[in-house]
Amino acid sequence: MKELRWFCSAVLGSIMLLGCGGGAGESSGLDTTAQGADIAPTGPVMKSGGTSVTALMGPAGGRLDLANGARVEIPAGAIQDAKEIVFKDAPRTTVFKDEDVQGNRPVGPIILVTPELYAPEGSYFVISIPFSSLPEGYDESSLLLAYETPSSQQRNYAEDTTVTIWNYEQAAISGGRAVAKLGSLPGMRFQFILSRND
């Protein structure tokens, strides 16, 4: 009787081990590291980082912040399923059109948001940085957000290059921040600027 109990216990243990995918060198056929990786969050995602932050977002959108105070707000409905959003400091560049350099000055960091996204009708992406007051000689109409988009001349260049242009959107000061709203994110760089035409 003891032998029968021992045999049944051994058989049952072996079945449970196989059913759980146990045993050295064995696999259940499931990639447990990827399980749930593409499941969209059910609510807005709020995440902060140093010079870079990455977050999986879903239809509820969310907000990402960097240590330098830069922030991007993703509206609900801009993402259909689950998508990884990257927000980070970007390499420095000149964001002014050559003919407009006089009287212009950059404000805050150059930042990058990827991938390309589109806001639903009636809602916007909000880009902002800490910015409390305008320097002398500028008024609020001087505050703009420069944003990078692919150039229509891309086809004239080699296939392995990316040609971009800088566009400008009116910004405002609100709650100690420079704030701009965009209907889409081109997946490229942004920087606030002060533009004065003397």
As given in the structure block, the two tokens for residue 166 are 């800088």
Rounded to the nearest 5 degrees, what angle is found at the Cα of 126, between the Cα atoms of 195 and 129?
A: 55
According to DSSP, the residues that pair with 146 across neighbouring strands are: 168, 191
DSSP secondary structure string, 71-89?
EEEEPTTS-SS-EEEEEEE
Helix (H) or strand (E) holding 144: strand 143-150
pLDDT in tens, 41-75: 889 999 999 999 999 999 999 999 999 999 999 99
Cα distance between residue 154 and residue 159, in whole Å: 8
Kind and range of the H or E element at 9? helix 2-19
5 SS3 class: helix
The strand pair at 45-48 and 62-65 is best described as parallel
Put simply, whether the predicted model's pTM sits higher than 0.85 gets the answer no
Instruction: Flag residues of the chain having pLDDT under 70.
Output: 1-38, 95-102, 153-162, 197-198
